[in-house]
Chains A and B, each alone.
Chain A
């Protein structure tokens, strides 16, 4: 029996570690994009995922994953395989987004070179949708100052290059 290995939709490039920041490509078993829900749909989501619909900028931690607000009346389930709840427009986007976990003490300085939002806003339980360089991105706060970054799969290579450049620049400033 062939053992299938989960691969990030952007491939599995090696982690980038420069100075005090590190980027690891991560995988999620399921990315389910939810929209157009009514009260019954929100209840179905609460039953299936174990959390209520997040308000703007919120990320709800559930037993099997996270439910993040990702736009006006839209949410993204990141986690274990989940059946699409009834009463919600649910779309499997597991192959559509590249996920990168940024960690290390230099994460705020690296992000400050890439996004027009204060990186201090991206704390655990919060999600920010903004422009990362020229890419539409989702930034999710994680424990210990880490941030999960998601961009379209087609832009994974650009994200890697932009992260590497920003991390190199921050590291270079540290050496002055």
Chain B
């Protein structure tokens, strides 16, 4: 499996650490309430199709990237730096 790092180019997935759904980028306000924080920390969708995830290029440039991956076909259709991703 190849992951397209926006900095390094196409690299083998063994260079990356998989964090999880990219909802972690959308941190709720500290006062958003228990419901919002519970959802942020624990509740995840299990989509069939395109999903957005956070990967860390831990063995390469060290960038966090937001990867768009299809859970059915495993096609990776895009990757952007997490710091440049739309929130």
Return the 4 tightest CB-CB contacts between A and B, nearest first. A116-B12, A131-B59, A71-B62, A72-B63
B residues neighboring A (CB under 8 Å): 7-8, 11-12, 14-15, 58-63, 81
Known: A116-B12, A116-B14. A136 touches B59 (CB 8 A): yes
The 8 Å CB contact of B61, one of A117, A129, A131, is: A129
- How many A-B pairs have beta carbons closer than 8 Å: the answer is 35
**Chain B interface, DSSP helix/strand/loop, else mixed:** loop
User: A34 to chain B: closest CB distance in Å?
Assistant: 14
The docked-state distance in angstroms from the alpha carbon of A116 to that of B11 is 8
In the assembled complex, A74 has its CB within 8 A of some CB on chain B: yes
The answer on a CB contact under 8 Å between B11 and A130 is yes
In the assembled complex, A125 has its CB within 8 A of some CB on chain B: no
**Chain A interface, DSSP helix/strand/loop, else mixed:** strand
The docked-state distance in angstroms from the alpha carbon of A116 to that of B63 is 18
Known: A74-B62, A129-B61. A116 touches B7 (CB 8 A): no
The answer on a CB contact under 8 Å between B14 and A131 is yes
- Complex: chain A residue closest to B59, CB-CB: A131
Residues of B within 8 A of A71 (CB): 60-63
Residues of B within 8 A of A131 (CB): 14-15, 59-60
User: A149 to chain B: closest CB distance in Å?
Assistant: 14
